[in-house]
Structure 1
Amino acid sequence: MKEIARRCNVSVASVSKAINGYMDIGEETRNFILKTASEMGYFPNSSARTLKTKRSHNLGVLFMDEAMSGLTHDFFNHVLESFKRTAEEKGYDITFTNGNISGQKMTYYEHCRYRGVDGVVIACVDCNSEEVRELVNSEIPVVTIDHIFDGRIAVVSNNVQGMQELVSYIYSMGHRKIAYIHGEDGSAVTRNRLGAFHRTLHLQGIEVPDEYTIMSPYRDADGAAAATGQLLDLKDPPTCILYPDDFAAIGGINEIRERGLRIPQDISIAGYDGIIVARVLEPKLTTICQDTEAIGRIAAEKLVNLIEHPKTALIERYTVDGMLFKGASVKRIEPSQSKNKI
């Protein structure tokens, strides 16, 4: 760094600021220093930077869904890609956190300490587990996605807004017999979506029969297919079925087609999430497109801010709206064709 400073005729402090991305240095000076450093073959050493700044510039990612789908998860892989991209723009690397290092069992908190991460984003795990709560209650900065802990920053999809918009659209298409195959009981996402589903229809004077709501795990095509069959076998079946997510909806589509029924001519359906596959199906799936780019970006921005400015960072909940994709899987019908028998 002293050699770079001499070559550029600036102070060592200016070189350090340019290389470490500090903002209190002129853009022209920064670019000149970085260009000179590159020409001299200088490459910053992360270990040395950690000793000086007391930060590893490494963010932990705790992500593990029940299906163990990892980065093949249609929704969260886009969220985490946005998180990764934003973190890297701010000079941070990411490390996936789990409970095993070379076969040695560790808690999530122990793994984070072992890796020396500056902070952790928590997404799609069992947030009620003791290990997760140990991490959340620790000194390590934490931001959660789609789950709220007291005293922690959370970035959440607006599941209430999304479900209200989806159900309102289906209602506007004339449907009154609307069923909902929802995700696991107990999760905040399910509670909000299910509550918004019932409330939106209640405000229209419709009380949903108990047999119209069935639990099936998220991203479980087989479970969704079985639940679809259960609904279609009812004496008074629904005219439209909502699924917990677009991937699960594919299972429902298979069951419907195996019965010789057509979508949407014989039965209408809708999903949730807005994954790419949903928009290339035939017919295109009616769904709520969640803003995965914004969710990941905001999570990274708030976590980095919490790490770098702990005294001024606000502990808040940041809500991201989704957008209705009308698709073509919900048929317009006359309301008289879809009256519930209550």
Structure 2
Amino acid sequence: MVSLKDIAARCGVSIATVSKALNDHSDIGQETKERIRQTAKEMGYVPNAAAKSMKTNRTHNIGVLFMDDARSGLQHDFFAGLLESFKISVEKEGYDITFISNDRSRPGRTSYLNHARYRRFDGVIIANVHFDDPEVIELVNSDIPVVTIDHIYNDTTAILSDNVDGVSVLVDYAVKNGHKKIAFIHGVDSSVTKSRMVTFNKKMEEYGITIPDEYIMESPYRDMHGAYETTLKLLELPDVPTCIFYPDDYASYGGIRAINEKGYKVPDDISVVGYDGIRVARHIRPRLTTYRQNTDELGALAARNLIDLIERPNTTLIKQVVVKGKLLEGDTLKKLN
């Protein structure tokens, strides 16, 4: 392995000069820096990460705590897009990412906090977990910088997709197109679900529209079969809704299957509204009416704020950052008026 001593001997300078040149110190001339860096490159020099970590007290490694009840993992379009944006952003700043295992059946498993400390993570991003899990709370309350996605803890920076805006925009669009009998299938209990439900009920109230209790149903996120079964129950009601909101785009396709099997047509008989704006939905016909969450911006902001907490802890404020999405007008919502 090529060392600083080898480079110094080749260039005819001191080891200290080589170190300063490779670390871009200002007291080394630009011409000398370039000569030393070119020599290091030609010799195949690779910095010693362990030595650098001891000097800077940073490993330049960020932990990612992510879980998905549907076990879709990185096939989950929303979080896959967000994490890819996060990964690209942190790598530009010289950081690597490592996933924190959430397999509690694994032999020798330790808590999330112990895992993070063992790996010496400089910070951790937390997404789509059970936020009331004692292990998650322990990690959040530790001295390790943390940024959460779509959940707010006290004294923790959170990057939030604007669920209030998302549901508001979709309700406005449906009502302005003449729909009043709107069913709302929501995901399992979470801060995101609560925000969407409250917003839906508030908007209906503002429009003076009374929604029957049986129009509000639960189905797990990203569960086509669950949405299929729930939709069948809605279609058995004496007064069938003209429009059904689904918790995400995947779920909406389970609903569309149920609607078709019962002899109804989308959108002629029943309109369908999704959520997330997954890319594949723009290529399936009929194109889904949905709300696209801005995963690129969410991931980039999560990266920027976490690195600020790591590198500038004394001047970085804890904050909640809300990111708006965009209505995608498709072909699954009929204009009744």
Does the alignment reach a TM-score above 0.5? yes
RMSD, matched Cα: 2.3
Look up the match of 1:59: 62
Which contiguous aligned blocks of 4+ residues in structure 1 show a shift greater than 3 angstroms? 1-14, 22-36, 99-102
Look up the match of 1:208: 211
For 1:233 and 1:26, the matched residues in 2 are separated by 79
* CA displacement at 1:280 relative to structure 2: 1.4
Of the three residues 140, 145, 166, the one matched with 1:141 is 145
Relative distance call for 1:24 and 1:90 in structure 2 (3 A) is farther
Look up the match of 1:283: 286
For 1:293 and 1:260, the matched residues in 2 are separated by 39
Amino acid of the structure 2 residue aligned with 1:156: L
Q: How far does the alpha carbon of each residue in 1:135-176 deviate from its partner, in whole angstroms, 9 at most, with x for none?
A: 011111100001110000000000001110111011111111
Alignment of 1:252-291 (within 5 A): 252-291=255-294
Amino acid of the structure 1 residue aligned with 2:286: P
Look up the match of 2:21: 15
Structure 1: gaps of 5 or more residues: 335-342
For 1:86 and 1:171, the matched residues in 2 are separated by 39
The number of residues matched between the two structures is 330
For 2:224 and 2:293, the matched residues in 1 are separated by 20
Of the three residues 189, 192, 197, the one matched with 1:189 is 192
For 2:23 and 2:290, the matched residues in 1 are separated by 47
For 2:256 and 2:213, the matched residues in 1 are separated by 23
Q: How far does the alpha carbon of each residue in 1:312-340 deviate from its partner, in whole angstroms, 9 at most, with x for none?
A: 11100011101000111100003xxxxxx
SS at match of 2:272: strand
Deviation larger for 117-126 or 95-104:
95-104
For 1:130 and 1:286, the matched residues in 2 are separated by 38
Amino acid of the structure 2 residue aligned with 1:278: A
* CA displacement at 1:184 relative to structure 2: 0.9
Look up the match of 2:253: 250
Relative distance call for 1:227 and 1:151 in structure 2 (3 A) is same
Q: How far does the alpha carbon of each residue in 1:2-34 deviate from its partner, in whole angstroms, 9 at most, with x for none?
A: 66568397934532424xxx8999999876654
SS at match of 1:164: helix
Would you say 1:158 and 2:162 are equivalent positions?
Answer: yes
* CA displacement at 1:309 relative to structure 2: 0.7
Of the three residues 121, 124, 128, the one matched with 1:117 is 121
Alignment of 1:1-342 (within 5 A): 1=4, 4=7, 7=11, 11-12=17-18, 14-18=20-24, 34-99=37-102, 103-185=107-189, 187-334=190-337
SS at match of 2:77: coil
Q: How far does the alpha carbon of each residue in 1:64-111 deviate from its partner, in whole angstroms, 9 at most, with x for none?
A: 011122111121011000111111111000000024697212111111
Kept after mapping to 2: 8 A contact 1:62/1:120: yes
Amino acid of the structure 1 residue aligned with 2:317: L
* CA displacement at 1:116 relative to structure 2: 1.1
SS at match of 1:71: helix
Look up the match of 1:338: none
Superposition TM-score, scaled by structure 2 size: 0.92
Look up the match of 1:337: none
Amino acid of the structure 2 residue aligned with 1:148: I
